[in-house]
Structure 1
Amino acid sequence: MPQSVDRALDVLDAVAASDGPVPAKALARRLGCGLSTVYELLGTLTARGHLVRTPAGYVLGYRVPSLHLAFQRQMRMSGEVQELLHRTRRAAGVDTYFSTYRDGGIAVLAAATASHPATGGFTVGQDTTGHATAHGKVLLAALPRAARLRYLAASGMRAITPHTITSPERLDVQLRRVRHEGVAVEVEECAPGVACVAVPVPAAGAPTAVSAALPLEEFHRRGHQVAEALRQVAAEAATFQGTADISGSTGG
């Protein structure tokens, strides 16, 4: 049974990662399992509404958005925050994200992006690359040292690009600067040709950040303007009840 659950989730993840419908045979090749097994898993996921069968293949079903809404409700994140991200995306022209630290992990709770994949390559869900992202650095900077070390030990500090900081000592230097300046910046640490800016959300119940990702050339041209726009977003997000009530434990 655990193996079947794993395979079903693998099927769901594979369909979610695709830009369009995925035929069953393509899923079987991608996952390295028998076609009959894939059809059985697809039947279960379709019956439960997680997938929908189309003439061209399988796509995400109508159950998925309700799960995301339930996730946001459990995280006590208000709809106003999502709308704020979209307004910022339209006004500033940059992909924007809302992230938090909770129960020993970092998660992107919401995003407003213009394309797929997004500029920063982030998706809503758990983020295990906090050492290399601007929002991760804002969140790690807010943690007690013991909690921060636990996170880094669990997630590791792998080199995503040649610019990724993989030394805890070098990261500590950056985090001290983040705490002093109230803004975090990463340049090509997480994705080539991309820079990200992040600021903390004041008075949130747990370490929380808003961030933006933009092409490197654009960052050099107007990175300071984007940072100021994010400060305004963070101040407004802090006024929403959902943001103020985000629960989490920093530990340590």
Structure 2
Amino acid sequence: MATHDDAGDVHARPPGATGGVQSVSRALELLDLMAGAGTDVSLSELAEGTGMAAATTHRLMRTLLAHGYVRQLPSRRYGLGPALIRLGEQAGLHLGAAARPHLDDLAAQAGETVNLAMLDQDMVVYVAQAASRHSMRMFTEVGRRVHAHSTGVGKAVLAELPDAAVLRLLERAGMPPATEHTITGPEEFLTELGTIRSRGFAIDDGEQEVGVRCVAMAVPEAPTPTAVSVSGPAARLDLAGLEALLPALRRTAGVLAELYATEGP
């Protein structure tokens, strides 16, 4: 299982693989190290971080480069490649399809739109949606990518990460205001994340779109930081109404955690 160390990086070290499988495991370990670094890395840093010989690291990186999973910069350092975006999108769509019946159940109970979103690099991508029964309802296109700091789902997933990792992400992605209510200061945002961690859910009160409220909750132990949310017009969904949705939202997050655990290796 992937674990977060004190620096907020994610490392996966599969046990005891040999032969050709060991080569695959080592290549994946390199990708995990690059993802955790959050910036471009040198060949020597990769070798040191994985404990592999420089020649082995170079050979594996050449293979990953040829397939588009990494890219080499003019500085000769390496970054994650575009092929991973396609894989991530397809994985998200697959998980979204599996989750859809549970999202439909929550939408029926809440009477509002339900979204499932995942953290993909420095942005949040919506992977599934169950629509409200109301004629006036929220709609977010599946596949849409948004900044994490201005959404309920984004704040919920970032609250699962250490502050140091959050600050690195915010520095890379920026904190543009979506509305006048969007939090745009890193320190204020970390304070908001502390509140989310203590109460167990995030609220977007017009921070992504004026007149829209949302309550979101992280899916526990998801393989990729994931959150489920309920959103609706502020005129219909006041703050007390958001809190009334928490038991159903928490049950759905738990069901999705079990679903992803079942589908995992």
Which of the five TM-score ranges fits, normalised by the shorter chain? 0.5 to 0.7
- Residue 188 of structure 1 and its aligned partner are, at CA, apart by 0.9
Larger deviation: 96-105 or 116-125?
116-125
Could you tell me how far apart the structure 1 residues matched to 2:256 and 2:243 are?
A: 20
Larger deviation: 154-163 or 193-202?
154-163
Could you tell me how far apart the structure 1 residues matched to 2:229 and 2:253 are?
A: 9
Give matches, 1:1-252, under 5 Å.
Answer: 71-73=89-91, 77=95, 79-114=97-132, 119-220=137-238, 221-241=240-260, 245=264
Q: Could you list the per-position Cα deviations for residues 142-173 of structure 1 after superposition, in whole angstroms to 9, with x for gaps in the alignment?
A: 12333322322233211211111111111111
- Residue 179 of structure 1 and its aligned partner are, at CA, apart by 1.1
Residues 132 and 120 of structure 1, relative CA distance in 2, 3 Å threshold: farther
Residues 206 and 168 of structure 1, relative CA distance in 2, 3 Å threshold: same
% identical equivalent positions: 31
Alignment correspondent of 1:8: none
Q: Could you list the per-position Cα deviations for residues 192-212 of structure 1 after superposition, in whole angstroms to 9, with x for gaps in the alignment?
A: 111110011112122211101
Q: Could you list the per-position Cα deviations for residues 29-73 of structure 1 after superposition, in whole angstroms to 9, with x for gaps in the alignment?
A: xxxxxxxxxxxxxxxxxxxxxxxxxxxxxxxxxxxxxxx9x9444
Residues 115 and 80 of structure 1, relative CA distance in 2, 3 Å threshold: same
- Residue 102 of structure 1 and its aligned partner are, at CA, apart by 3.2
Which portions of structure 1, spanning 4 or more consecutive aligned residues, are displaced by more than 6 angstroms?
115-118
Could you tell me how far apart the structure 2 residues matched to 1:73 and 1:174 are?
A: 30
Over aligned residues, Cα RMSD in angstroms?
A: 2.9
Aligned length: 178
Answer whether contact 1:204 1:244 (CA < 8 A) is retained: no
Amino acid at match of 1:232: R
What's the TM-score, normalizing by structure 1? Answer: 0.62
Listed as ranges, the gaps of 5+ residues in structure 2 are: 1-85
Amino acid at match of 1:239: E
Answer whether contact 2:89 2:143 (CA < 8 A) is retained: no
Could you tell me how far apart the structure 1 residues matched to 2:152 and 2:258 are?
A: 23
- Residue 76 of structure 1 and its aligned partner are, at CA, apart by 5.0
Answer whether contact 2:112 2:133 (CA < 8 A) is retained: no
Answer whether contact 2:96 2:128 (CA < 8 A) is retained: no
Answer whether contact 2:114 2:129 (CA < 8 A) is retained: yes
The DSSP-based 3-state class of the residue aligned with 1:218 is coil
The DSSP-based 3-state class of the residue aligned with 1:106 is strand
The DSSP-based 3-state class of the residue aligned with 1:190 is coil
- Residue 75 of structure 1 and its aligned partner are, at CA, apart by 5.9
Could you tell me how far apart the structure 1 residues matched to 2:122 and 2:173 are?
A: 10
Residues 85 and 126 of structure 1, relative CA distance in 2, 3 Å threshold: same
Could you tell me how far apart the structure 2 residues matched to 1:223 and 1:200 are?
A: 16
Listed as ranges, the gaps of 5+ residues in structure 1 are: 1-67, 247-252
Structure possessing the higher relative contact order (Cα contacts under 8 Å, 6 or more residues apart): 1
